[in-house]
Structure 1
Amino acid sequence: MTHIKNNLVQVKHQISQACQLANRSIDEVLLLAVSKTKPSAMVEQAYHAGQRFFGESYIQEAIEKIEQLSHLTDIQWHFIGPIQSNKTRHIAELFSWVHSVDRAKIITRLNEQRSEQDTPLNVCLQVNISGESSKSGIKVNELAELAQLTDTSSHLTLRGIMAIPEKNASIASYQKMQQLFQQLQQQYPSVDTLSMGMSSDLTVAIAHGATIVRIGTAIFGQRETIANN
């Protein structure tokens, strides 16, 4: 457990330094520990070190962890991976947040499958800001339509946008995401989230308005390779 606890301390220190450089409060940036491919025991170690927010990308793996860690009632689970339409029910039923919505069909299914007994599912729309064919996400010109659809879905709450800029992306990509985020904020009172920045680029992401940084490697070590599910 010691190395995970120490890694969390180090990452939080990096976030604090990045916030200072950007003249922002550290309270404006939430650390999402990306626990995909890591066993539930490591998630629990991070939990006991004070971490409460965890990101998963693979449904079957996430289901197992959520069940195994159900005794930790204040964990908040975020789905951050590509979404297959036949897996939306699990996301709607098990997660508090989803960061990777990129199609109208997914929005409709999540809204229909979220129980009325639950609080609305918090949604970020994924923008393919670098235009990479290998990555999920909408084009910039598709954002307005999907934002409106999400906002008018009774069991969803539009919280913002998410991006995974390409490796060594230019500052322009981060600037564009910040601009899109600010525009959405002006249109929708519920929008307060720019999910952007990982272990390798958290400083530049925070400098450009990120409110959630998704950190895996720097906390848990190199991720394992598993079959997509």
Structure 2
Amino acid sequence: MTTVDLHARLADLDARIFDAARSVGRDPLELTRIVVTKFHPAELITRLHELGVRDVGESRQQELTAKRDELPNLDGVQWHFVGQIQTKKARAIRAASDCVHSVDRDRLADALHAADPDAPPLDVFLQVNLTDDPGRGGAVPADVSALAEHVAFSCASLRVRGVMAVAPLGVEPADAFARLAEAGASVRRVVPDATWMSAGMSGDFAEAIAAGATHLRIGSAITGPRPVRD
């Protein structure tokens, strides 16, 4: 993809975000657009940075670490980890992330805190599982407030910012994100300033915005199809 094409994709996506926000009476400036670059080369992030992108997302620890190491001089970039986390990789993710979107259990929160307990607070979202499958990532909605309490009061180097979820397949995104908003309200009863909501991807960001999303995780609408991996 040429830089001209990339610029056009960014402009088109941002216009659609603007329209979606305005249609529900929200200020587009309160939204953070995160470009997810899974499987794309680090060079793409450099070009995105030249076009003004400052929030980049990765969902694999090895890829996040490698890209951040390869691009140490990109001023102002915030690196978001948006994938599932094995507890054994918490230290590496803590070292490479400015924000983690997928804290879903006490043990993981403890591992992220123990990785650098004296560091400035790491922004985290609490991931909510909106499916009936316990094998999927995320805490069940009924347990999210207890998780918030644990992180807020037992993990001083983590800062609970809000909630995150992926809309399940086969479910209307608006209904899924309404449930996420309810989970967010329960978290705010524990952490009043946890007002962020990470929701919405290329195909459902408009519904997420209508439900109150503050952080949108957009991949293919900007980057095009992911490269095929061997």
Q: Same fold (TM over 0.5)?
A: yes
Partner of 1:142: 143
Task: Say if 1:160 and 1:193, in contact at 8 Å, map to a contact too.
Answer: yes
TM-fit CA distance, 1:168:
4.5
Higher mean alpha-carbon deviation, 166-175 vs 66-75, is at 166-175
Cα shift at 1:167: 2.7
Aligned residues: 226
Which residues of 2 match residues 66-77 of structure 1 at below 5 A? 66-77=68-79
CA RMSD of superposed structures (Å): 1.5
Q: Residue by residue, what CA displacement relative to the aligned partner does 1:163-191 show, whole Å, maximum 9, x if unpaired?
A: 00113522322211112213323431330
Q: Distance in 1 between matches of 2:175 and 2:74?
A: 40
Correspondence 1:145-184 to 2 at 5 A? 145-152=146-153, 153-170=155-172, 171-184=174-187
Say whether 1:107 aligns with 2:109: yes
Question: Shift of residue 218 of structure 1?
Answer: 0.5
**SS across alignment from 1:187:** coil
The 5-angstrom pairing of residues 57-68 of structure 1 reads 57-68=59-70
Q: Percent same amino acid at aligned positions?
A: 31
| Aligned residue among 87, 94, 115 for 2:89 | 87
Tell me if 1:214 matches 2:214.
Answer: no
TM-score (norm 2): 0.93
Gaps of 5+ in 2: none
* Displaced runs of 4 or more, over 4 A: none
In 1, distance between residues paired with 2:228 and 2:195?
Answer: 33
Q: 1:183-194, aligned counterparts within 5 Å?
A: 183-194=186-197
Whether contact under 8 Å (1:128, 1:165) holds in the other structure is no
Q: What SS class does the counterpart of residue 180 from structure 2 fall into?
A: helix
C-alpha distance in 1, partners of 2:211/2:51? 28
Q: Deviations over 1:89-115 (max 9, x none)?
A: 011112111001111110001011125
Q: 1:59 to 1:225 in 2, by over 3 A?
A: farther
Report deviation, 1:60.
1.1
1:177 counterpart letter in structure 2: L
- Quick one: distance in 2 between partners of 1:156 and 1:128? 21
Question: Within 2, Cα distance between the matches of 1:12 and 1:115?
Answer: 37
**Aligned-partner residue type, residue 136 of structure 2:** K
- Does structure 2 retain, via aligned residues, the 8 Å contact 1:15–1:26? yes
How many Å separate the matches in 1 of 2:42 and 2:151?
Answer: 32
Point out where structure 1 has 5 or more consecutive residues left out of the alignment.
Answer: none
What CA deviation, in whole Å up to 9, does each residue of 1:105-164 have, x standing for no partner?
Answer: 100010111252x32111111111133456311111111111111111110000011000
User: What is the alpha-carbon distance in structure 1 between the residues aligned to residue 147 and residue 220 of structure 2?
Assistant: 31
SS of match in other structure, 1:123: strand
The residue number in structure 1 matching 2:130 is 129
The residue identity in structure 2 corresponding to 1:198 is: M
Structure 2 CA distance for partners of 1:225 and 1:82, relative to 1, 3 Å: farther
Matched position secondary structure for 1:210: coil
- The worse-fitting range, judged by mean Cα deviation, of 160-169 and 179-188 is 179-188
TM-score normalised over the length of structure 1: 0.93
Q: Is structure 2 residue 9 aligned with structure 1 residue 11?
A: no
Distance 1:11 1:132, change over 3 A: farther
Specify which of 28, 43, 48 is matched with residue 46 of structure 1. 48
